[in-house]
Amino acid sequence: MKSRILETARKEFAAGSLESVSIQKIADSLGYSKGTILKYYPTKILLLLAVKQQNLDAVAAELEAVRTQTADAELRLRRVMETYVAYWIANPDNFRSLYSMAGTVEDRRFPDGTYFGDTAVARRSLEIFVKTVREFLLSQDADPSPGLAPRLASALLSAAHGVIALPLGTPTMKQPDARTNGRLVIGAIVDAWTAKLRAARAEASWPRITLATFF
């Protein structure tokens, strides 16, 4: 029952915001009473956050599988990011409900005051990218400065989100295949990083690298 509730809620939140989505409409779509849904999710924000958590768990499982199957650190980084793009392209409602820009920051806070971005599931999802970037840097015999791997992971995620969001935000325009675009963008970034690291080997500061290494 909970899985059916979350699936229906995901579609509703993908099309609207916390304010516009109706628990009653979700109940009617499922043929349940409103009280049945409230028994599992006492507030609308808890239902929204449950949908977000399920979305992150699903994509994290796919990314961890790719990590396990790929021994080479550079190839692993490419595959993880390509899988991330492909997952959201194949599941647009999941992307819209998780990364909706509708509503406010307070729409992303649990009743105990914890923001969704500070939850264990959100941190675990982000850490997949951070450790994959860190492994790539270490495989190049570099010594990354504190905070560098998270910063580079953020840059990669920003690029990936652009690839995913462009076709979703421009549905009336004929866009090239987003998965191919993802490979082009991710490949260009990783190739550029590899070139920067190659050049950095000639510096006296090597193997220490900082954000400036990549400019």
pLDDT digits (tens, 9 = 90+) for 149-194: 999 999 999 999 999 999 988 988 888 999 999 999 999 999 999 9
The two tokens of residue 23 are 């628990």
The two tokens of residue 165 are 């969001």
Of 173, 188, 176, 168, nearest to 89 by C-alpha is 168
Read off the pTM. 0.85
Residue 101's pLDDT is: 56
Residue 105's pLDDT is: 64
Whole-angstrom distance, CA of residue 180 vs CA of residue 163: 10
Task: Summarize pLDDT for 190-207 with one digit per residue, the tens.
Answer: 999 999 999 999 999 999
φ, ψ of residue 125 to 5 degrees: the values are -65, -45
Instruction: Provide the residue ranges of all domains of the chain, joining segments of one domain with +.
Output: 58-214
The two tokens of residue 98 are 């998780």
**C-beta separation of 98 from 48 below 8 A:** no
Task: Summarize pLDDT for 8-65 with one digit per residue, the tens.
Answer: 888 887 777 677 788 988 888 899 999 999 999 988 878 888 888 888 888 999 999 9
Q: Tokens 């993880």 belong to which residue?
A: 80
Whole-angstrom distance, CA of residue 181 vs CA of residue 115: 32
Of residues 107 and 73, more confidence is placed in: 73
Residue 94's pLDDT is: 82
- Return the percentage of the chain with pLDDT > 70, whole number: 95
Residue 108's pLDDT is: 65
| Band (69; pLDDT cuts 50, 70, 90) | very high
Whole-angstrom distance, CA of residue 55 vs CA of residue 63: 13
The two tokens of residue 70 are 């790929």
Longest distance between any two alpha carbons in the chain, whole Å? 69
CATH 1.10.357 is right for the domain spanning 58-214: yes
Whole-angstrom distance, CA of residue 141 vs CA of residue 134: 11
Task: Summarize pLDDT for 129-151 with one digit per residue, the tens.
Answer: 999 999 999 999 999 999 999 99
Does residue 102 surpass a pLDDT of 60?
no
